[in-house]
Structure 1
Amino acid sequence: MPFIEIASMHSPGLNLRQEDFNVAIIENHKRKSCNQIFDNFFNGEDGTIIHIGDPDLRNDKNNVCFASEIIDWDFEPVDIIYFPEIDDDFETCTGGENQQFKFKFLSRYKRDIDRLLRVALRKSPIKKGYILSDYQFGPSIPQIEIISRISDFWSRHDQEGLMYNTVYELYGS
């Protein structure tokens, strides 16, 4: 299950209204990410994180981190997903990662994602934000990329897709 989040750095809040978006959103002012691979990424920084979820979770704020319905699964199709093997003590988990690498958002949700990115950058006092993903079947080594502008982010998205388990750093003007 992929997770998608947007962070607005040093922002005390974005004052988003769920009824303005087709995707589910939760605004979190405590910098708590659903993305376990990036737990330490925000250490020492404050801001607001927007958890983006499936449209059918708009009224279920306990599971909003699940974003599988906003992903275009036909962009990089995989016939069979192999689940990780977990030992009897639940201490070791092997396999699972490195099965899918790139993704795109479904076109009907791009407008919502774009609006959320723009609000996040506009409300950041330092005009800095991130969009990040976490997917257990994605690359095993997380990446950080500086893209700078939202228009460049969407060009990348449209032309070659985005990488799972990647933080994209963006700046507003």
Structure 2
Amino acid sequence: MPKLVKDGAIIEDTWQRLDKPEGEAAEVRVPEGQVIVPLSVWQAQREQLQARSDIGVWIDSDESAYDLGNDAQSLPLVAVNFPAFMDGRAFSTARLIRERFGFNGELRAVGGFIRDQLCYLSRCGVNAFRFDDDNADLEKAQQSLADFTEFYQAGVDQPQPLFRRRA
């Protein structure tokens, strides 16, 4: 079973992530168990999926946190996808999900992000990291969460900027 870093610990990944559908999102069969569905599937099947407690939603970089909106509060997991490590739109999506929509569950980074981004992702509210590469060194990834101990800017994890904390 694949592993991920969640809340600073390496654990088994018990969730299955569905790919974006090529056809109609309403026609996608969502299997039993813990499943992370694409936003389009959630939107097309919201009524049925909302009744389940084992459904998460993943948002692609070209989709908006506003499309999920307050529905995030009822989900155990929301994932933000990085199609490539140079595409930083998921940073903003993560922060919006946490701050604007009040999501308190597992906020997971998936896709093509790199280890150097973990510390910054955690500042945006991401608390779980599932690398596409199953051979990624998760122990080094764990260490990356502590790359910096002090930040000038405010973040989800530290709402006051440095100048306010020192005043």
- TM-score tier after normalising by the smaller chain length: under 0.3
Higher relative contact order at CA 8 Å, sep ≥6: structure 1 or structure 2? Answer: 1
More helix by share: 2
* Length-normalised TM-score, structure 1: 0.25
TM-score using structure 2 length:
0.26
